Amino acid sequence: MRRIIIFLFALLCLSAYANQEQIALTQKGSIHDREGQPLNHDMPLVYYYYDAKTQEIIIDGSGVVSYYDVEISLPVTNTVEMSTQVDGTYDTFDISSLASGSHVITIESPSGNIYEGTFTTY
């Protein structure tokens, strides 16, 4: 019985992670320090989470900055579909109103660094 409970718990944990995709970000532009290294110390981790009831973006900034400005747009037309400001530590926001398909997320830190990635809604 105990093995069955452990198996079910593990299966539940795996299914939760199956609905979460990390969005790979790249730094937009060429911003380097004096040694030529990119200044991306404030790049957050970004995830797209989806299930039958929820579609949201998770931004984990680890508190390096106080906030991030976020825009989500269509890749072909560059039409901004959503714009918001999120907490720099950890924040989520609902994207269930977006149409299914590819989207571009652009994140700007207070220091002016801009990060961009793409994700697909289902």
Domains along the chain? 20-121 (2.60.40.3080)
pLDDT on residue 119? 95
What is the rounded distance in angstroms from the CA atom of residue 81 to the CA atom of residue 60? 22
Name 60's bridge partners.
Answer: 45, 90
29 and 114 Cβ atoms separated by less than 8 Å: yes
What is the rounded distance in angstroms from the CA atom of residue 20 to the CA atom of residue 6? 22
Q: What is the pLDDT of residues 84-122, one digit of tens each?
A: 999 999 999 999 999 999 999 999 999 889 999 999 998
43 and 111 Cβ atoms separated by less than 8 Å: no
pLDDT grade for 17, boundaries at 50, 70 and 90: very low
The alpha-helical segments, DSSP class H, found in the chain are 2-18
